[in-house]
Structure 1
Amino acid sequence: MREVSTDVTSVQYAVLLVLEQRPGVSQRELGDELDLDRSTIAELAARMVRNGLVERISDPQDKRRNTLFLTTTGRELLAELKPRVGNVERVLTQQLSATERDTLRQLIDRLLIPLEP
């Protein structure tokens, strides 16, 4: 991830992507999505809140549930990082045909999908 950013880790980037796609997701759901335990996701969320990238809001119906949203700064950072990630992906896969790149992406996506019980 150093080629993309020296300040944002790959896990933080993944958090930004999830929150862009699922604003208001709970910390628990985010942890499940990224396969991180409760203490890790709580620490990660707290750090990203301190850095102004994420806003944490208590669910009005369940005060034990914290929901997460991207801040304007978080959205701007994600918009800045996405093209860099795309460039790295292009460099890493430049020796592959378009079909091979599609197949690789499909296989990676399958690996990242949580197993259904």
Structure 2
Amino acid sequence: MLDDRLGYLLKHAQMALAARTAESLGPLGINGRELAVLTVLGAGPALAQQQAAAKLNVDRTTMVDLVDALERKGLVERRSDPKDRRRNLVHLTALGQKTQAEGNRLYQETERALLTEEDGRDLKRLLRRLLEASTSEES
């Protein structure tokens, strides 16, 4: 049966989580992908778009679209890199910082509504193991 296949379960679990996340983030005017970008950009020193794209494992065009959308919403701004004026760094605005913090809070609530803390930890541990195994086979 399909419901005994890992790929089927992963795909449909991700789709269900994405739908719940979209619903919970809706009042903030962002989606899960945009929250991921805000989270990466808010995690440390400002990054260039290419650096953020690498951390998120998305292509350059997708990253430009995501940053453009966040910029239109007033959540991020591009500023010249003081070390290299040819490139821009992406910074969270004050509204972006507030939205990122609230978005992460809502996201955590969504996870807790779906799984106990222990089950969530176990699932994440197993998924990391799956990713590590698939990455080590590619090398």
2:59 is matched with: 37
Q: Which residue of 1 aligns with 2:24?
A: 4
- Residue 86 (1) aligns with residue 105 (2): no
Relative to structure 1, is the Cα distance of residues 63 and 107 closer, same or farther in structure 2, using a 3 angstrom cutoff?
Answer: farther
Structure 1 residue ranges without an equivalent (≥5): none
How big is each residue's C-alpha offset from its partner over 1:35-89, in whole Å with a ceiling of 9 and x where there is no partner? Answer: 1111111121122112110121111332332111111001111222222111110
The structure 1 residue matched to 2:71, chosen from 45, 49, 70, is 49
Q: Which amino acid aligns with 1:101?
A: G
1:104 aligns with 2:126: no
Report if the CA contact (8 A) 1:54-1:71 is conserved.
yes
Percent of pairs with identical residues: 34
RMSD: 2.2
Query: Secondary structure of the residue that 1:14 maps to in structure 2?
Result: helix
> Which residue of 2 is the match for residue 65 of structure 1?
87
Please give the alpha-carbon distance, in whole angstroms, between the structure 2 residues aligned to 1:90 and 1:47.
29
Task: State the TM-score, normalizing by the size of structure 1.
Answer: 0.81
Distance 1:106 1:85 in 2: 19
- Going by fraction, where is helix more abundant, 1 or 2? 2
1:12 and 1:56 map into 2 onto residues whose CA distance is 16
Q: Which has the larger radius of gyration?
A: 2
CA distance in 2, matches of 1:74, 1:82: 12
- Partner Cα distance (2:128, 2:39) in 1: 14
What TM-score results when the alignment is normalised by the length of structure 2? 0.69
- Structure number with the bigger relative contact order (C-alpha 8 A, sep ≥ 6) is 1
Following superposition, the deviation at residue 109 of structure 1 comes to 4.6
1:108 & 1:22 partners in 2: Cα distance?
25
